[in-house]
Chain A
């Protein structure tokens, strides 16, 4: 549903949404460099164990200080966790055995306008709203396999136990 709000055609899940999100980003800018700056979404601040980011079929290990981009899927192994801060000050942490997708992130730091769409397919997430949430709470969307969450300036936890 977050994807519908982002201007795309349908609801997809799993790998399909990673590909769709990247295609959407490529459609936005003419140059790859432009895409990179436009979609840089956040920075890893806290990390323990084995945490990887997957994007456009490529997987890379994450470490503190590493950048995250819109379209990145973040996967944590057992006994591993990660915390990252998005450019609008939104804070997100993931517990072990989690699968998370940063479906969409857009932010204008002059006006604090923007939108966030994230998805937790498995595991545990904590979410603390930032400046986008402060300005327009309805521009944030979090989805799980069976639910979406309307966020109103908030700090909360979501746990997806399993299929």
Chain B
């Protein structure tokens, strides 16, 4: 009790000497990469402040919010250059389509694979997840094997192109997780694919 009072008094004294009322904090809403709307709500002991437009910012002192302002993009880039620069690359994914019953890419997907490799070759500390799929023709065992073979082919292509990866996980999902749900026995070209997910 006595000790708590002492530390309270000490903190008050420090605050008094520093001429401010507790920590100063700033909150800045950034625009969404896809331009969509977003918001944050800053809650302190003295109330809530909503930031709802790009570069809206609020400063609090000891939990007391000051009026909301809008910063310029240039100012944010300059003041927060470190966190802007060190943000990891955004995760992304590609769907590569295959010919019926084979581990051969369609011509369009061969092109897409080249483009994907160029884009992800230097992805920093990239974790790759390659998930193969098959459409619902044939039995489960052969679809499982086929989907895994498709994913392995992509793995080999990535290795051949010397794509730098921290890890590569290869999964065959057979016909169990289709992109386009379809009745058993019905051909669906869009479900013959490998998803490259990179994080």
Contact = CB atoms under 8 A, between A and B. Distances in A.
15 contacts: A46-B85, A46-B88, A48-B86, A93-B83, A95-B83, A126-B83, A126-B84, A145-B22, A145-B25, A146-B60, A154-B30, A154-B32, A154-B38, A154-B39, A163-B22
A59 interface: no
A144 B24 CA distance: 10
A147 B125 CA distance: 33
Interface stretch (B1-9, B43-51, B152-160, B184-192): B43-51
The 8 closest A-B pairs by CB, nearest first: A45-B88, A95-B82, A146-B63, A150-B41, A126-B83, A83-B86, A161-B24, A81-B86
A10 interface: no
Interface of B: 22-33, 36, 38-45, 51, 60, 62-63, 76, 80, 82-91, 124-125, 127, 166, 199
B63 A147 contact: yes
A93 B89 CA distance: 11
Interface in A129-152: 130, 144-152
A163 B31 CA distance: 29
A26 interface: no
B88 A85 contact: yes
A interface: dominant SS = strand
A93 B39 contact: no
Given A65-B125, A144-B25, A149 B86 contact: no
Contact of B87 (A91, A144, A146, A151): A91
Given A44-B125, A85-B199, A153 B38 contact: yes
Contact of A161 (B26, B40, B45, B76): B26
Interface in A80-136: 81-85, 87, 89, 91, 93-96, 124-126, 128, 130
B25 A155 contact: no
A157 interface: yes
A42 to B, nearest CB: 9
B87 to A, nearest CB: 4
A125 B86 CA distance: 10
A65 B166 contact: yes
A156 B27 contact: yes
B83 A155 contact: no
B148 to A, nearest CB: 19
Contacts of A149: 27, 40-43
A147 B48 CA distance: 9
Given A83-B86, A150-B40, 11 more contacts: A46-B85, A46-B87, A46-B88, A64-B125, A89-B90, A144-B25, A145-B25, A146-B45, A147-B27, A147-B63, A159-B80
